[in-house]
Amino acid sequence: MEFNLFLRTLQRGWWIIVLSIFIATNVSLAISYITPPVYQTTARYVVSPNAGLFSSSWELLSSLDTLDRRSIVNTYREMIASPSVYERSPEIQKIKQQSLDDFEVSVAVIPDTNILRLTVEGPDPRRIVVVAHAISTEVLSYMNELNPIYNLSVLEEPQLPTAPIRPQPLENALLASLFGGMVGLVLAFSREQLQNTLDKLRERSIIDPVSSAYTRAYFERRLLEETTQHPDGNFVMGIINLRGLEQVMNVLPEPIFNRVLGTVSKKLKNELRGRDIVGRWSDTQLAVILPGTPESAVEPAFRRIQVYLSEAVPVDNAGDMAFNPDPCIGVIMHKQFETVESIIERAQMAVEKASALSEATVVFLKNSYFSEERIGSTIEKNGTSD
């Protein structure tokens, strides 16, 4: 069930996911396009004892043992990273007057070694190499003079970078696409949940909870739509009075009453076409609208409905008790440019005539005062207008 819900959400909200991916990817590419590139170059230094100052191998070993203290290497790291040391370089002084703030200098100690890594980042690849070389020259001179016991030497010269380290348009676009896909998926599921909530609220406002048919207010609205959109179209309205329920409404327990009414309503909807409209007209009456029904088809349609609804409805699950709905049906044919009020008045007149007869039947009131026909019998009445 959850997997089907997931597939249905993807089917309905795929465009949200695609749109989110498209927007995120294009925003990422736009940001990468307007963001200035940043290049990086590195240099490596090694700290080692100055062998020329030691007269014996024991002193050299002692010096190596002292070098294992992290405080010595960390002191070199702080000194290399200190602007007060490398800004003494004339080349850096010249660059500082222009745009030294565009460069970032950092130094790190490679774990478990006496090797330090200098990193210089900036927007100009050639200039950061110049800065790295200037720092190397100034720091080596200053540190070796300050502490001659240990020698700071270049292990790896800085190289001219060929590509920026950031932004990375393709990598950023891929990450943005994944992020956009997740956001789109969340939005699609949120939209599906909101739509389900709105559908349930809408269903509660237009569906009668007992009969599962439309409420009378919504039924009349659909009737108005039918007369407005098709003023000269053929459609039939019928009101079904469940006379059996009407007679015992005040004595029948509410659960049994609701069960019988719901069963009859379900049978009626199963018998009709998908575009036909079924509503609850009153406590014991249902109403139907059959769009696009010619007059010649009214008799067989409602005769079939009357016979089908006359079948006994089980009251309990075991089927030991059954109830006869005794349906009486009043039917009218929509006249050209007839108002909703006139349609309802004629339909109510027809169902009243059908309910007044001793046997449950269908009365087709063709006009308000002109003719009345009991479908399925040979009785037909004609009269004249007042």
Residues 141 and 277 reside in one and the same domain: no
My answer on whether 367 and 276 are in the same domain is yes
In this predicted structure, the answer to whether residue 99 has a pLDDT above a threshold of 80 is: no
Evaluate if residue 19 carries a pLDDT over 50: yes
Look at residue 330 in the predicted model and tell me its pLDDT: 92
| Distance (Å, whole) CA 365 – CA 53 | 126
For the ranges 70-84, 145-159, 337-351, the maximum mean pLDDT occurs at: 337-351
How confident is the model over 192-209, as a mean pLDDT? 76
Q: What pLDDT does residue 48 have?
A: 79
Q: What is the CATH number of the domain that holds 304?
A: 3.30.70.270
- The mean pLDDT of 98-126, rounded to a whole number, is 83
What confidence score (pLDDT) does residue 39 get?
93
Per-residue pLDDT band at 201 (split at 50, 70, 90) = low
Answer yes or no: do 145 and 279 share one domain: no
Report the pLDDT value the prediction gives residue 65, as an integer from 0 to 100. Answer: 61
Determine if the pTM surpasses 0.95: no
Q: Are residues 234 and 370 in the same domain?
A: yes
Per the CB < 8 A criterion, the answer to whether 208 and 214 are in contact is yes
372 domain-assigned: yes
Same domain as 232, residue 102: no
What is the number of domains present in the chain? 2
Look up the domain containing 278 and give its range: 216-382
Same domain, 136 and 274: no
Any domain includes 244: yes
Instruction: Compute the distance between CA of residue 367 and CA of residue 346 in angstroms, rounded to an integer.
Output: 8
136 and 273 both lie in a single domain: no
Q: For the chain, give the mean pLDDT.
A: 81
Radius of gyration of the chain (CA): 45
What's the rounded mean pLDDT across residues 28-36?
Answer: 90
Give the residue with greater pLDDT, 262 vs 62: 262
Q: Are residues 43 and 124 in the same domain?
A: yes
Q: Are residues 221 and 321 in the same domain?
A: yes
pLDDT at residue 347, rounded to an integer? 92
Domain contains 285: yes
How much is the pLDDT for 364? Answer: 87
User: Do 276 and 136 share a structural domain?
Assistant: no
Q: Which of 5-9, 65-69, 104-108, 246-250 is least confident?
A: 65-69
Same domain, 144 and 236: no
Q: Is 268 contained in some domain?
A: yes
Structure tokens at 70: 């992290």
Q: What is the mean pLDDT of residues 207-231?
A: 88
Tell me the average pLDDT across 81-87: 78
CATH number at residue 59: 3.30.70.1130
60: pLDDT strictly greater than 60: no
pLDDT digits over 128-177, tens only? 898 888 888 888 888 887 777 777 888 889 999 988 988 888 998 999 99
Res. 199: pLDDT tops 80:
no
- Statement to judge: residues 235 and 370 lie in one domain: yes
Contact yes or no for 326/360 (Cβ under 8 A): yes
Angle at 306 between CA 216 and CA 329, to 5 degrees: 45
Q: How far apart are the C-alpha atoms of 345 and 351, rounded to whole Å?
A: 10
User: Which of 139, 156, 173 corresponds to the end of one domain?
Assistant: 156
> Where among 116, 132, 156 does a domain terminate?
156
Is residue 207, in this structure, part of any structural domain at all? no
> What is the SS3 assignment for 211?
coil
Using a pLDDT cut of 90, give the percent of the chain over it: 22
pLDDT band for 63, please (50, 70, 90 cuts).
low
What region, left, alpha or beta, does residue 240 occupy, with left being phi > 0 and alpha being psi -120 to 50 degrees?
beta
Q: Enter the tokens of residue 248.
A: 């015992």
The DSSP call for residue 110 is P
Task: Output the pLDDT for position 357.
Answer: 87
Q: How many CB atoms lie within 10 A of CB 222?
A: 15
Residue 188 domain-assigned? Answer: no
Between 85 and 181, the more confident residue is: 181
Q: Is 193 a domain residue?
A: no
Q: Which of 135, 156, 177 is the last residue of a domain?
A: 156
pLDDT at 287: 94
Whole-number Å distance between alpha carbons of 304 and 290 = 14
Residue 97 in domain: yes
Q: In the predicted model, is pLDDT for residue 200 greater than 80?
A: no
pLDDT attached to residue 64: 59
